[in-house]
Every structure is written in C-alpha cells, then in structure tokens.
Amino acid sequence: MSETKPRIWKQPTTVAAINAQADNTLAGTLGMAVTELGDDFIRGTMPVDARTMQPYGLLHGGASVALAETLGSVAANLCLDPATHMAVGLEINANHLRAVRSGSVTGTARPLHIGRQTQVWEIRIADERGRAVCVSRLTLAVVERPR
C-alpha cells in the first residue's frame, strides 16, 4: 500500500502566477524562474551569466543565496493564509560546494519545519549535471500581516 504525502500549500497557485510576481524584483532581474511546484517542494532555476557572476568568472555566492532565499520565502508564504500571515526571513546560511562558470543552476526548497511561529527550509542548488553547488538553510518568522 502506498502512502500519499499531504500537500503543504495553503493557497492555490500556479508556476505562472508565482513567476508573474517576479517582475521588477531581484528575482526577475537575476533571471530566476520557478519551474515546478510539487506537493512538498518548490524548484526554480537561475542563469549563470553576467548578472549572477563575480569578477573571476564564477557564479557569485550571493546570487546562490538570493536564489535560495527566494525559493524558500516563496514556499514559506505558500504555507500560510495570505490574508492573515506572512513569513519573513530571520537567518540564512549557505555552504558553497562547487564553482559554476556557465549555464544555469537549479534550486529545490523543501521544508524541515513548518510551525505556527517559525519555518525552516533547506534549499539545495545543483548545476546542469546535477552536481551539488550550494546547500542552504533558511529560517523564517511567521508574523501577522499588517492590517
């Protein structure tokens, strides 16, 4: 007998709707795009190009962190009722594991903890060959939305 995982999202959305919100934001400027919304994960890509590279021709660690925080923040907020609550970042860390010089990277965010007051998400970023580039952990506070 197979066990089905419950969907964690509290609000209906689509990949297209999520990407439309990126217009005129850091995510849009850096070319980030959500590509998949699973039952318990969100996945997105970012190009490795002039916008995301450091002067030595490698993917900038800050760009990886920006992708991680974007995916984790979007996911965290999808777990909440947007009329009453929102998730805001408290802390993020990242371990940069492999240099990337071209192409794109893909990040996958999965929850480690979804609580009433905090959420913790792990974001794994890989290169086009599936090799680990960065692993990040994002902690967010769940706060009441200002009225």
Q: Which residues are catalytic?
A: 69
> What is the chain's alpha carbon radius of gyration, rounded to the nearest angstrom?
15
Query: What is the Cα–Cα distance from 49 to 88, expressed in whole angstroms?
Result: 28
Sign, CA torsion 62/63/64/65: positive
Contact between residue 120 and residue 137 where contact means Cβ atoms under 8 Å apart: yes
User: What distances in angstroms separate CA 6 from CA 11, 119, 141, one per listed residue?
Assistant: 14, 17, 23
